[in-house]
C-alpha cells in the first residue's frame, strides 16, 4: 500500500521540481522584464504547488491527517503570486520600462 503512495509523492515532487526549474531557466533566459516576470510567476507557482501536494499526500498517509498549515501555504501561494505579478507589471508599465526587440515585434502590440 505504501509503495504506490511513495510513487505518487515522488511523481509530484518531480513534477514540482521540473516546473520550478523551468521557471528559473525562464527567469535567466528571457530578454525583458515582462517576459521574465511571466516565466517564474506561472511555472514556479505550479512547482511549489506540486511540492506542497506531495507533502500533503505523504504526511496525510502516515495517519496524522491533512495539515492545515500546508493547505494555508497552498492557498496563500496561489492567491499572492498572481497578485504580486500583476502589481509588478503595473509598476513596470508606469515606469515605462523598455521592451526587448523580440517583444516589440508582436502583432498584438502594433
34 by Cβ neighbours in 10 Å (0-12 / 13-18 / 19+) ranks as middle
What span, in angstroms and rounded, lies between the C-alpha atoms of 69 and 82? 21
pLDDT at 37 over 90: no
Q: What is the pLDDT of residue 1?
A: 52
C-alpha cell at 44: 514556479
pLDDT band at 103 (very low <50, low <70, confident <90, very high): low
Provide the total of helices (H) and of strands (E) in the chain, helices listed first: 5, 0
74 by Cβ neighbours in 10 Å (0-12 / 13-18 / 19+) ranks as middle
pTM of the predicted model over 0.85: no
Amino acid at each position: 500500500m505504501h509503495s504506490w503512495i511513495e510513487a505518487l509523492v515522488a511523481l509530484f515532487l518531480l513534477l514540482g521540481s521540473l516546473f520550478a526549474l523551468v521557471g528559473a531557466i525562464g527567469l535567466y533566459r528571457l530578454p525583458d522584464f515582462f517576459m521574465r516576470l511571466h516565466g517564474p510567476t506561472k511555472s514556479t507557482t505550479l512547482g511549489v504547488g506540486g511540492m506542497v501536494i506531495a507533502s500533503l499526500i505523504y504526511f496525510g498517509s502516515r495517519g496524522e491527517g491533512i495539515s492545515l498549515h500546508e493547505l494555508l501555504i497552498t492557498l496563500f501561494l496561489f492567491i499572492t503570486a498572481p497578485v504580486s505579478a500583476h502589481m509588478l507589471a503595473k509598476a513596470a508599465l508606469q515606469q515605462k520600462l523598455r521592451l526587448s526587440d523580440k517583444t516589440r515585434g508582436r502583432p498584438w502590440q502594433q
